[in-house]
Amino acid sequence: MQKDDLKTVKLMIGLYCRKKHGSKKGELCKDCEELCRYVEERRKKCPFGDDKPFCSNCRIHCYKPAMKERIKEVMRFSGPRMMFYSPRVAWAHVFETMALKRREAKANGKRK
């Protein structure tokens, strides 16, 4: 996975917070700040280190159920909008996802 995956998640949380909670660019409301700190903490403890896949493609789900739902809501909202707010990050995510699926298919002996 990209080494700047945490930066991507922070961008997505920031976009979500601006649009849903009316925060200013570069600022987060209390709830989004809490989510961001939680994501950072989970990322630091990830056993895969810099080789971790995107959480949606990971076989280990380390988020508490409530936090998992919160981050999924952020991703559902911000994901499609990232193309307009940060196209480089959005395309990098698309290409990384495609590469991961190719690697998994190759490892499983399937052709794609």
Kindly report, residue by residue over 45-75, the tens digit of the pLDDT. 888 877 777 777 777 888 999 999 999 999 9
Could you tell me if residue 24 is inside a domain? Answer: yes
Q: Please indicate, yes or no, if residue 100 is contained in any of the structural domains.
A: yes
**Assigned token pair, 74:** 């952020």
Q: Is residue 52 part of a domain?
A: yes
Domain carrying residue 31? 5-107
First to last CA, the chain: 20
3 band by pLDDT with thresholds 50, 70 and 90: low
Q: Is residue 67 part of a domain?
A: yes
Confidence label for 111 from pLDDT (cuts 50, 70 and 90): low
Summarize the confidence of residues 12-31 as an average pLDDT.
Answer: 96
Structurally, the chain folds into a number of domains equal to 1
Residues 6+ apart with CB under 8 A from 47: 60
Q: Is residue 112 part of a domain?
A: no
Determine contact, residues 39/9, Cβ cutoff 8 Å.
yes
pLDDT averaged over the chain? Answer: 88
- C-alpha 16/C-alpha 18 separation (Å) is 6
- Average of pLDDT values for 89-97? 86
